[in-house]
């Protein structure tokens, strides 16, 4: 499955729905986690604007006034849930992924601003994880950084970072290195602040099952947080196939085209790279 996480900073705008829906389509997403919905009583109908025409199931945590709020959206054909646990700061949905026997636990997180309350959250999550079996994927806005390099133009709380790193270590979690950008939160105008607050954390069994998964930061759109994605199905089929018709082999020019490429000077290197270079040039000359 592929995952998308966004601190949406309110779900009322139609433009935000179109933005997220486009990301879902382009990234082939199966699970979307939204933080700071700023809404209560959200239903599947309300959240359909963030999805497409495919099957959808949702779980939500109501906001307190205009503060907080969580939503988790997923494709029930890819992930079948049998347990939910809701908290003002996190939303757990547990179940089974299609084709995978081991239980999968998804936690959408929006950590509090105060360092003291974040420490309480880390302890609660650690206690929860110790009581349940299966793979773990934690994602969302952790409101914390792991080291000083993850903040620019804002105060670095070394104690909070140490507490966050201790939680990650104690829980046996790992973080995928994210491409696309170093920071996920951009705030301010005259004095712009940058922080890496959003991330994916996974357990060892998840990492072993999908070692080639790719985490990525995407361009900031309709929120002050950048969307982040985790692609567990990075498909690269190599160069686009090139059709060669049998009738071409009867053309006398074909032989001379191939021979001219073979006679052209080449540079040293691995034999497989050299072969790919020659085939690429033959293709280019045939197209001419």
In this structure, are 170 and 146 located in the same domain? yes
In this structure, are 271 and 140 located in the same domain? no
In this structure, are 219 and 254 located in the same domain? no
In this structure, are 191 and 276 located in the same domain? no
Say whether pLDDT at 107 is over 70. yes
User: Which has more pLDDT, 114 or 245?
Assistant: 114
In this structure, are 186 and 275 located in the same domain? no
Say whether pLDDT at 267 is over 70. no
- 131 confidence band (pLDDT: 50, 70, 90): very high
Say whether pLDDT at 111 is over 80. yes
Pairing of strands 90-97, 2-7: unpaired
In this structure, are 211 and 267 located in the same domain? no
In this structure, are 225 and 250 located in the same domain? no
In this structure, are 201 and 85 located in the same domain? yes
The answer to whether residue 225 is domain-embedded is yes
The answer to whether residue 240 is domain-embedded is no
The answer to whether residue 241 is domain-embedded is no
The answer to whether residue 90 is domain-embedded is yes
Domain count for the chain: 2
CATH number of residue 64's parent domain: 3.60.10.10
The answer to whether residue 239 is domain-embedded is no
In this structure, are 119 and 252 located in the same domain? no
The answer to whether residue 236 is domain-embedded is no
- 268 confidence band (pLDDT: 50, 70, 90): low
In this structure, are 224 and 252 located in the same domain? no
Question: pLDDT tens digits for 201-212?
Answer: 999 999 999 988
Question: pLDDT tens digits for 168-226?
Answer: 999 999 998 889 999 999 887 668 889 999 999 999 999 999 988 999 999 988 898 99
In this structure, are 135 and 182 located in the same domain? yes
* Boundaries of domain holding 282: 246-287
Please list, in sequence order, all residues whose beta carbon lies within 8 angstroms of the beta carbon of residue 24, skipping any fewer than 6 positions away.
4, 32, 50, 51, 52
In this structure, are 125 and 36 located in the same domain? yes
């Amino acid at each position: 499955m592929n995952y998308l996480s966004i601190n949406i900073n309110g779900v009322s705008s139609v433009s935000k729905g179109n933005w997220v829906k486009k990301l879902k389509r382009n990234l082939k997403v199966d699970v979307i986690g939204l933080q700071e919905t700023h809404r209560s009583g959200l239903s599947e109908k309300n959240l359909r604007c963030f999805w497409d025409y495919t099957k959808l199931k949702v779980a939500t945590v109501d906001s307190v006034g205009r503060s907080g709020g969580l939503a988790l959206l997923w494709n029930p054909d890819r992930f079948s849930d049998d347990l939910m646990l809701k908290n003002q700061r996190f939303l757990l949905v547990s179940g089974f992924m299609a084709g995978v026997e081991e239980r999968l636990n998804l936690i959408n997180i929006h950590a509090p601003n105060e360092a003291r309350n974040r420490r309480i959250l880390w302890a609660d999550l650690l206690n929860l994880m110790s009581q349940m079996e299966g793979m773990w994927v934690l994602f969302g806005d952790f409101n914390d950084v792991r080291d000083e390099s993850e903040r620019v133009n804002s105060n670095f709380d070394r104690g909070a970072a140490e507490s966050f790193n201790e939680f990650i270590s104690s829980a046996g979690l790992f973080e995928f290195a994210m491409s696309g950008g170093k920071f996920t939160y951009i705030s301010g105008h005259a004095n712009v602040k940058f922080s890496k607050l959003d991330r994916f954390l996974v357990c060892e069994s998840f990492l072993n099952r999908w070692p080639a998964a790719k985490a990525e930061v995407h361009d900031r759109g309709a929120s002050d947080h950048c969307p982040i994605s985790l692609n567990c199905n990075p498909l690269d089929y190599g160069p686009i196939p090139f059709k060669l018709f049998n009738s071409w082999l009867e053309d006398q020019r074909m032989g001379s085209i191939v021979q001219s490429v073979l006679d052209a000077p080449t540079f040293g290197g691995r034999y497989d790279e050299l072969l790919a270079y020659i085939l690429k040039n033959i293709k280019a000359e045939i197209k001419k």
